[in-house]
Structure 1
Amino acid sequence: MAYDRTAMLKLLRPAMTRILTPLGRALVGRGIGPNAVTAIGTLGTVISALLLFPLGHLAWGALLITVFVLFDLLDGVVARLGGKGGTTWGAFLDSTLDRVADAAIFAGLILYFVARGDTLMAGVTLACLVAGSLVSYAKARAEGLGLTADVGLAERPERLVVALVATFFSGVGVPYVLPLGMWLLAAASTITVVQRVVHVYRQTREA
Protein backbone atom coordinates (compact mmCIF):
# COMPACT_ATOMS: atom_id res chain seq x y z
CA MET A 1 0.00 0.00 0.00
CA ALA A 2 1.57 3.26 -1.08
CA TYR A 3 1.43 6.03 1.46
CA ASP A 4 2.25 9.73 1.07
CA ARG A 5 4.27 10.35 4.20
CA THR A 6 4.29 14.11 3.63
CA ALA A 7 0.57 14.54 3.02
CA MET A 8 -0.02 16.29 6.32
CA LEU A 9 3.02 18.52 5.99
CA LYS A 10 2.05 19.48 2.44
CA LEU A 11 -1.08 21.08 3.86
CA LEU A 12 0.76 22.94 6.62
CA ARG A 13 4.04 23.84 4.91
CA PRO A 14 2.90 26.85 2.79
CA ALA A 15 1.23 28.59 5.72
CA MET A 16 4.07 27.81 8.13
CA THR A 17 6.65 28.99 5.60
CA ARG A 18 4.91 32.37 5.34
CA ILE A 19 4.83 32.66 9.12
CA LEU A 20 8.47 31.65 9.56
CA THR A 21 9.90 33.74 6.69
CA PRO A 22 10.39 36.97 8.74
CA LEU A 23 12.20 35.00 11.45
CA GLY A 24 14.27 33.21 8.83
CA ARG A 25 15.22 36.53 7.23
CA ALA A 26 16.31 37.87 10.62
CA LEU A 27 18.48 34.81 11.26
CA VAL A 28 20.11 35.05 7.84
CA GLY A 29 20.82 38.72 8.50
CA ARG A 30 22.73 37.71 11.63
CA GLY A 31 24.75 35.10 9.80
CA ILE A 32 22.95 32.08 11.28
CA GLY A 33 22.79 29.19 8.82
CA PRO A 34 20.34 26.31 8.43
CA ASN A 35 22.60 23.77 10.14
CA ALA A 36 22.78 25.93 13.25
CA VAL A 37 18.98 26.21 13.23
CA THR A 38 18.72 22.41 13.00
CA ALA A 39 21.11 21.96 15.92
CA ILE A 40 19.29 24.54 18.06
CA GLY A 41 15.95 22.86 17.41
CA THR A 42 17.33 19.46 18.39
CA LEU A 43 19.03 20.80 21.51
CA GLY A 44 15.83 22.52 22.60
CA THR A 45 13.82 19.36 22.05
CA VAL A 46 16.29 17.20 23.99
CA ILE A 47 16.44 19.57 26.95
CA SER A 48 12.65 20.05 27.06
CA ALA A 49 11.90 16.32 26.87
CA LEU A 50 14.53 15.08 29.31
CA LEU A 51 14.01 17.86 31.84
CA LEU A 52 10.26 18.54 31.81
CA PHE A 53 8.69 15.16 31.05
CA PRO A 54 10.33 13.22 33.91
CA LEU A 55 9.26 15.96 36.32
CA GLY A 56 5.66 15.64 35.19
CA HIS A 57 5.45 18.95 33.29
CA LEU A 58 3.86 17.25 30.30
CA ALA A 59 1.85 20.15 28.87
CA TRP A 60 4.74 22.64 29.00
CA GLY A 61 7.14 20.06 27.63
CA ALA A 62 4.84 19.23 24.71
CA LEU A 63 4.32 22.91 23.89
CA LEU A 64 8.04 23.71 23.94
CA ILE A 65 8.90 20.67 21.88
CA THR A 66 6.25 21.65 19.32
CA VAL A 67 7.96 25.02 18.96
CA PHE A 68 11.35 23.40 18.46
CA VAL A 69 9.92 20.86 16.00
CA LEU A 70 8.99 23.83 13.80
CA PHE A 71 12.73 24.36 13.37
CA ASP A 72 12.45 21.46 10.89
CA LEU A 73 10.66 23.93 8.66
CA LEU A 74 12.68 26.96 9.69
CA ASP A 75 16.01 25.46 8.61
CA GLY A 76 14.63 25.08 5.09
CA VAL A 77 13.45 28.69 5.09
CA VAL A 78 16.87 29.87 6.25
CA ALA A 79 18.60 27.79 3.55
CA ARG A 80 16.36 29.29 0.85
CA LEU A 81 16.71 32.87 2.03
CA GLY A 82 20.47 32.46 2.41
CA GLY A 83 20.70 31.61 -1.28
CA LYS A 84 22.55 28.34 -0.69
CA GLY A 85 19.67 25.89 -0.72
CA GLY A 86 20.03 22.48 0.85
CA THR A 87 23.34 20.63 0.98
CA THR A 88 24.21 16.97 1.28
CA TRP A 89 25.77 17.58 4.68
CA GLY A 90 22.72 19.55 5.80
CA ALA A 91 20.37 16.75 4.75
CA PHE A 92 22.48 14.16 6.60
CA LEU A 93 22.69 16.32 9.71
CA ASP A 94 18.96 17.01 9.70
CA SER A 95 18.04 13.33 9.41
CA THR A 96 20.52 12.29 12.09
CA LEU A 97 19.41 14.94 14.57
CA ASP A 98 15.77 14.04 13.91
CA ARG A 99 16.56 10.60 15.34
CA VAL A 100 18.20 12.21 18.37
CA ALA A 101 15.15 14.40 18.98
CA ASP A 102 12.73 11.48 18.62
CA ALA A 103 14.77 9.37 21.03
CA ALA A 104 14.78 12.18 23.59
CA ILE A 105 11.00 12.63 23.43
CA PHE A 106 10.24 8.98 24.07
CA ALA A 107 13.08 8.61 26.58
CA GLY A 108 11.59 11.52 28.54
CA LEU A 109 8.20 9.81 28.56
CA ILE A 110 9.77 6.51 29.62
CA LEU A 111 11.38 8.30 32.57
CA TYR A 112 8.01 9.88 33.37
CA PHE A 113 6.34 6.47 33.59
CA VAL A 114 9.25 4.92 35.51
CA ALA A 115 9.12 7.74 38.08
CA ARG A 116 5.47 6.89 38.66
CA GLY A 117 6.06 3.17 38.91
CA ASP A 118 4.12 2.39 35.72
CA THR A 119 6.42 -0.26 34.26
CA LEU A 120 3.83 -1.43 31.72
CA MET A 121 3.55 1.97 30.07
CA ALA A 122 7.31 2.46 30.30
CA GLY A 123 7.63 -0.77 28.30
CA VAL A 124 5.01 0.30 25.76
CA THR A 125 6.76 3.65 25.29
CA LEU A 126 10.08 1.84 24.85
CA ALA A 127 8.38 -0.20 22.12
CA CYS A 128 7.37 3.10 20.46
CA LEU A 129 10.99 4.25 20.56
CA VAL A 130 12.40 1.02 19.14
CA ALA A 131 9.75 0.56 16.45
CA GLY A 132 10.04 4.22 15.42
CA SER A 133 13.80 3.82 15.01
CA LEU A 134 13.25 0.70 12.90
CA VAL A 135 10.81 2.59 10.68
CA SER A 136 13.52 5.13 9.87
CA TYR A 137 16.27 2.53 9.58
CA ALA A 138 14.27 0.36 7.18
CA LYS A 139 13.81 3.28 4.83
CA ALA A 140 17.44 4.41 5.03
CA ARG A 141 18.76 0.88 4.49
CA ALA A 142 16.43 0.28 1.56
CA GLU A 143 17.50 3.50 -0.12
CA GLY A 144 21.14 2.59 0.49
CA LEU A 145 20.49 -0.59 -1.52
CA GLY A 146 18.86 1.36 -4.34
CA LEU A 147 15.32 0.41 -3.31
CA THR A 148 12.40 2.37 -1.85
CA ALA A 149 10.48 2.11 1.42
CA ASP A 150 8.14 5.10 1.32
CA VAL A 151 5.18 3.11 2.60
CA GLY A 152 3.55 2.59 5.94
CA LEU A 153 0.97 3.75 8.39
CA ALA A 154 3.02 5.95 10.72
CA GLU A 155 5.83 8.16 9.43
CA ARG A 156 7.68 10.64 11.64
CA PRO A 157 5.18 13.54 11.35
CA GLU A 158 2.29 11.32 12.36
CA ARG A 159 4.22 9.80 15.25
CA LEU A 160 5.20 13.23 16.56
CA VAL A 161 1.66 14.58 16.30
CA VAL A 162 0.17 11.64 18.19
CA ALA A 163 2.88 11.68 20.87
CA LEU A 164 2.82 15.42 21.49
CA VAL A 165 -0.97 15.81 21.37
CA ALA A 166 -1.47 12.89 23.75
CA THR A 167 1.22 14.22 26.08
CA PHE A 168 -0.21 17.74 26.10
CA PHE A 169 -3.78 16.67 26.86
CA SER A 170 -2.53 14.32 29.55
CA GLY A 171 -0.68 17.27 31.05
CA VAL A 172 -3.86 19.34 31.26
CA GLY A 173 -5.74 16.55 32.99
CA VAL A 174 -7.44 14.48 30.29
CA PRO A 175 -7.43 10.90 31.65
CA TYR A 176 -6.11 7.85 29.77
CA VAL A 177 -5.10 9.86 26.69
CA LEU A 178 -1.33 9.33 27.08
CA PRO A 179 -1.49 5.54 27.59
CA LEU A 180 -3.93 5.32 24.67
CA GLY A 181 -1.59 7.36 22.49
CA MET A 182 1.43 5.20 23.36
CA TRP A 183 -0.45 1.95 22.68
CA LEU A 184 -1.64 3.39 19.35
CA LEU A 185 1.87 4.48 18.40
CA ALA A 186 3.43 1.16 19.36
CA ALA A 187 0.93 -0.71 17.19
CA ALA A 188 1.09 1.71 14.25
CA SER A 189 4.91 1.83 14.25
CA THR A 190 5.17 -1.94 14.38
CA ILE A 191 2.74 -2.27 11.47
CA THR A 192 4.79 0.28 9.53
CA VAL A 193 7.98 -1.73 10.04
CA VAL A 194 6.25 -4.85 8.72
CA GLN A 195 4.84 -2.92 5.75
CA ARG A 196 8.29 -1.65 4.82
CA VAL A 197 9.94 -5.05 5.16
CA VAL A 198 7.27 -6.60 2.92
CA HIS A 199 7.60 -3.74 0.42
CA VAL A 200 11.37 -4.19 0.16
CA TYR A 201 11.02 -7.97 -0.08
CA ARG A 202 8.64 -7.62 -3.01
CA GLN A 203 11.09 -5.33 -4.79
CA THR A 204 13.91 -7.83 -4.38
CA ARG A 205 11.69 -10.62 -5.74
CA GLU A 206 10.85 -8.53 -8.81
CA ALA A 207 14.49 -7.65 -9.51
Structure 2
Amino acid sequence: MLNLFARGHVDRLTDPVGRRLVERGVSPDTVTVAGTVGAVVCSVVLLPAGWLVLGAVLVTLFVLTDLIDGAMARVRGGTRFGAVLDSTCDRIVDGALFAALAWWALTGGAEPVAGAAALVSLVGGQIVSYVKARAESVGLTAEGGLVERAERLILGLLGAFLAGLGVPYALTVALVLLAIGTVVTLGQRILAVRRSSREVPRAG
Protein backbone atom coordinates (compact mmCIF):
# COMPACT_ATOMS: atom_id res chain seq x y z
CA MET A 1 0.00 0.00 0.00
CA LEU A 2 2.81 2.41 0.84
CA ASN A 3 4.24 1.84 -2.64
CA LEU A 4 1.29 3.75 -4.07
CA PHE A 5 2.04 6.89 -2.08
CA ALA A 6 5.74 6.93 -1.23
CA ARG A 7 7.51 5.45 -4.26
CA GLY A 8 8.03 8.74 -6.11
CA HIS A 9 9.40 10.57 -3.07
CA VAL A 10 11.71 7.69 -2.16
CA ASP A 11 13.04 7.42 -5.72
CA ARG A 12 14.04 11.08 -5.69
CA LEU A 13 16.21 10.38 -2.64
CA THR A 14 17.70 7.05 -3.68
CA ASP A 15 18.31 7.60 -7.39
CA PRO A 16 21.29 9.98 -6.88
CA VAL A 17 22.88 7.50 -4.45
CA GLY A 18 22.34 4.62 -6.84
CA ARG A 19 23.81 6.63 -9.71
CA ARG A 20 26.98 7.40 -7.75
CA LEU A 21 27.48 3.77 -6.78
CA VAL A 22 27.05 2.63 -10.38
CA GLU A 23 29.56 5.25 -11.53
CA ARG A 24 32.04 3.77 -9.06
CA GLY A 25 31.58 0.31 -10.48
CA VAL A 26 29.45 -1.21 -7.71
CA SER A 27 27.01 -3.91 -8.84
CA PRO A 28 23.37 -3.85 -7.69
CA ASP A 29 23.67 -7.57 -6.93
CA THR A 30 26.56 -6.85 -4.56
CA VAL A 31 24.45 -4.33 -2.65
CA THR A 32 21.55 -6.81 -2.55
CA VAL A 33 23.65 -9.60 -1.06
CA ALA A 34 25.48 -7.31 1.38
CA GLY A 35 22.23 -5.87 2.69
CA THR A 36 20.73 -9.33 3.05
CA VAL A 37 23.70 -10.72 4.98
CA GLY A 38 23.73 -7.72 7.29
CA ALA A 39 20.01 -7.84 7.98
CA VAL A 40 20.01 -11.59 8.61
CA VAL A 41 23.01 -11.50 10.94
CA CYS A 42 21.61 -8.60 12.97
CA SER A 43 18.20 -10.29 13.17
CA VAL A 44 19.35 -13.71 14.37
CA VAL A 45 22.13 -12.45 16.65
CA LEU A 46 20.67 -9.34 18.28
CA LEU A 47 16.90 -9.80 18.47
CA PRO A 48 16.74 -13.22 20.18
CA ALA A 49 19.32 -11.96 22.70
CA GLY A 50 16.99 -9.10 23.67
CA TRP A 51 18.91 -6.29 21.97
CA LEU A 52 15.67 -5.06 20.42
CA VAL A 53 16.49 -1.37 19.98
CA LEU A 54 19.93 -1.92 18.46
CA GLY A 55 18.68 -4.85 16.40
CA ALA A 56 15.71 -2.92 15.02
CA VAL A 57 17.90 0.06 14.08
CA LEU A 58 20.59 -2.00 12.36
CA VAL A 59 18.14 -4.26 10.52
CA THR A 60 16.32 -1.15 9.29
CA LEU A 61 19.56 0.31 7.93
CA PHE A 62 20.40 -2.89 6.09
CA VAL A 63 16.86 -3.26 4.76
CA LEU A 64 17.11 0.22 3.25
CA THR A 65 19.79 -1.10 0.89
CA ASP A 66 16.89 -2.72 -0.97
CA LEU A 67 15.91 0.78 -2.05
CA ILE A 68 19.47 1.52 -3.15
CA ASP A 69 19.90 -1.59 -5.31
CA GLY A 70 16.58 -0.81 -6.96
CA ALA A 71 17.82 2.68 -7.79
CA MET A 72 21.04 1.21 -9.16
CA ALA A 73 19.09 -1.20 -11.35
CA ARG A 74 17.08 1.68 -12.80
CA VAL A 75 20.27 3.56 -13.67
CA ARG A 76 22.28 0.61 -14.95
CA GLY A 77 19.45 -1.50 -16.29
CA GLY A 78 18.15 -4.47 -14.33
CA THR A 79 18.69 -8.11 -15.25
CA ARG A 80 16.38 -11.08 -14.87
CA PHE A 81 18.90 -12.70 -12.57
CA GLY A 82 19.02 -9.56 -10.45
CA ALA A 83 15.24 -9.51 -10.15
CA VAL A 84 15.15 -13.13 -8.97
CA LEU A 85 18.06 -12.56 -6.59
CA ASP A 86 16.39 -9.49 -5.10
CA SER A 87 13.08 -11.29 -4.50
CA THR A 88 14.85 -14.30 -3.01
CA CYS A 89 16.87 -12.13 -0.65
CA ASP A 90 13.72 -10.29 0.41
CA ARG A 91 12.17 -13.60 1.47
CA ILE A 92 15.32 -14.56 3.37
CA VAL A 93 15.37 -11.28 5.30
CA ASP A 94 11.66 -11.49 6.10
CA GLY A 95 12.05 -15.05 7.36
CA ALA A 96 15.06 -14.22 9.52
CA LEU A 97 13.42 -11.14 11.02
CA PHE A 98 10.11 -12.70 12.01
CA ALA A 99 11.69 -15.97 13.11
CA ALA A 100 14.01 -13.97 15.37
CA LEU A 101 11.10 -11.96 16.80
CA ALA A 102 9.15 -15.17 17.42
CA TRP A 103 12.20 -16.69 19.12
CA TRP A 104 12.57 -13.74 21.49
CA ALA A 105 8.83 -13.50 22.20
CA LEU A 106 8.50 -17.20 23.00
CA THR A 107 11.62 -17.35 25.19
CA GLY A 108 13.19 -14.33 26.86
CA GLY A 109 10.35 -11.98 26.07
CA ALA A 110 7.71 -14.31 27.51
CA GLU A 111 5.08 -12.95 25.11
CA PRO A 112 3.44 -16.04 23.60
CA VAL A 113 0.78 -14.07 21.74
CA ALA A 114 3.47 -12.00 20.04
CA GLY A 115 5.36 -15.19 19.21
CA ALA A 116 2.32 -16.81 17.63
CA ALA A 117 1.53 -13.63 15.69
CA ALA A 118 5.12 -13.46 14.45
CA LEU A 119 4.86 -17.00 13.11
CA VAL A 120 1.55 -16.22 11.38
CA SER A 121 3.15 -13.11 9.86
CA LEU A 122 6.20 -15.08 8.76
CA VAL A 123 4.27 -17.85 7.01
CA GLY A 124 1.53 -15.55 5.73
CA GLY A 125 4.00 -13.04 4.33
CA GLN A 126 5.82 -15.76 2.41
CA ILE A 127 2.53 -17.06 0.98
CA VAL A 128 1.42 -13.55 -0.01
CA SER A 129 4.62 -13.14 -2.00
CA TYR A 130 4.31 -16.63 -3.48
CA VAL A 131 0.77 -15.99 -4.71
CA LYS A 132 1.96 -12.97 -6.66
CA ALA A 133 4.96 -14.80 -8.14
CA ARG A 134 2.91 -17.88 -9.05
CA ALA A 135 0.16 -15.77 -10.62
CA GLU A 136 2.68 -13.88 -12.74
CA SER A 137 4.27 -17.15 -13.86
CA VAL A 138 0.98 -18.17 -15.52
CA GLY A 139 0.24 -14.74 -16.98
CA LEU A 140 -2.09 -13.45 -14.25
CA THR A 141 -1.75 -10.55 -11.81
CA ALA A 142 -2.03 -10.28 -8.04
CA GLU A 143 -1.00 -6.76 -7.17
CA GLY A 144 -1.65 -4.67 -4.09
CA GLY A 145 -3.19 -5.53 -0.77
CA LEU A 146 -3.53 -4.05 2.67
CA VAL A 147 -0.15 -5.19 4.01
CA GLU A 148 2.75 -5.59 1.61
CA ARG A 149 6.44 -6.02 2.42
CA ALA A 150 7.04 -2.41 3.45
CA GLU A 151 4.19 -2.50 5.96
CA ARG A 152 5.35 -5.87 7.32
CA LEU A 153 8.84 -4.56 7.97
CA ILE A 154 7.67 -1.27 9.46
CA LEU A 155 5.26 -2.92 11.89
CA GLY A 156 7.70 -5.63 12.93
CA LEU A 157 10.70 -3.35 13.40
CA LEU A 158 8.72 -0.54 15.04
CA GLY A 159 7.14 -3.00 17.48
CA ALA A 160 10.57 -4.41 18.35
CA PHE A 161 12.05 -0.93 18.79
CA LEU A 162 9.26 0.24 21.11
CA ALA A 163 9.40 -3.02 23.08
CA GLY A 164 13.11 -2.47 23.53
CA LEU A 165 12.37 0.96 24.95
CA GLY A 166 10.04 -0.65 27.49
CA VAL A 167 6.67 0.23 25.95
CA PRO A 168 4.25 -2.42 27.33
CA TYR A 169 2.80 -4.86 24.77
CA ALA A 170 4.21 -2.82 21.87
CA LEU A 171 5.51 -5.87 20.03
CA THR A 172 2.39 -7.90 20.73
CA VAL A 173 0.09 -5.20 19.39
CA ALA A 174 2.24 -4.59 16.32
CA LEU A 175 2.52 -8.27 15.45
CA VAL A 176 -1.15 -9.06 16.06
CA LEU A 177 -2.14 -6.20 13.76
CA LEU A 178 0.39 -7.45 11.25
CA ALA A 179 -0.90 -11.03 11.43
CA ILE A 180 -4.47 -9.88 10.85
CA GLY A 181 -3.41 -7.61 8.01
CA THR A 182 -1.38 -10.38 6.41
CA VAL A 183 -4.35 -12.76 6.40
CA VAL A 184 -6.55 -10.03 4.88
CA THR A 185 -3.90 -9.35 2.24
CA LEU A 186 -3.70 -13.02 1.35
CA GLY A 187 -7.43 -13.02 0.74
CA GLN A 188 -7.14 -9.86 -1.38
CA ARG A 189 -4.38 -11.44 -3.47
CA ILE A 190 -6.40 -14.60 -4.09
CA LEU A 191 -9.41 -12.53 -5.17
CA ALA A 192 -7.16 -10.44 -7.44
CA VAL A 193 -5.90 -13.61 -9.12
CA ARG A 194 -9.47 -14.82 -9.60
CA ARG A 195 -10.47 -11.52 -11.19
CA SER A 196 -7.41 -11.63 -13.41
CA SER A 197 -8.16 -15.19 -14.53
CA ARG A 198 -11.65 -14.13 -15.61
CA GLU A 199 -10.34 -11.18 -17.61
CA VAL A 200 -7.67 -13.09 -19.55
CA PRO A 201 -10.05 -15.10 -21.78
CA ARG A 202 -12.03 -11.94 -22.56
CA ALA A 203 -8.83 -10.12 -23.49
CA GLY A 204 -7.86 -13.05 -25.70
1:97-152: CA deviations, max 9, x gaps?
00000101101101111223433321111001011111101111111111111131
Q: Is the 8 A contact 1:5 1:150 kept in 2?
A: no
Deviation larger for 8-17 or 42-51: 8-17
Q: Is the 8 A contact 2:15 2:72 kept in 1?
A: no
Alignment of 1:29-108 (within 5 A): 29=24, 31-79=25-73, 84-108=76-100
Query: In structure 1, which of residues 178, 181, 185 is the aligned counterpart of residue 171 of structure 2?
Result: 178
Look up the SS of the partner of 1:42 in the other structure. helix
Q: Distance in 2 between matches of 1:143 and 1:101?
A: 22
User: By how many angstroms is 1:39 displaced?
Assistant: 0.1
Q: Is the 8 A contact 2:106 2:112 kept in 1?
A: yes
Look up the SS of the partner of 1:154 in the other structure. coil
Aligned-residue Cα RMSD (Å) equals 1.9
Q: Which residue pairs with 1:149 in the alignment?
A: 142
User: By how many angstroms is 1:166 displaced?
Assistant: 1.6
Q: Is the 8 A contact 1:4 1:150 kept in 2?
A: no
Unaligned runs of 5+ in 1: none
Percent identical residues: 42
The normalised TM-score by structure 1 is 0.88
Q: Is residue 2:23 matched to residue 1:25?
A: no
Unaligned runs of 5+ in 2: none
Query: In structure 1, which of residues 186, 190, 193 is the aligned counterpart of residue 186 of structure 2?
Result: 193
Q: Distance in 2 between matches of 1:144 and 1:52?
A: 37
Greater RCO, 1 or 2 (C-alpha within 8 Å, sep 6+): 1
Q: Which residue pairs with 1:205 in the alignment?
A: 198
Q: Which residue pairs with 2:13 in the alignment?
A: 15
Q: Is the 8 A contact 1:4 1:151 kept in 2?
A: no
User: By how many angstroms is 1:188 displaced?
Assistant: 0.3
Q: Is residue 2:118 matched to residue 1:125?
A: yes
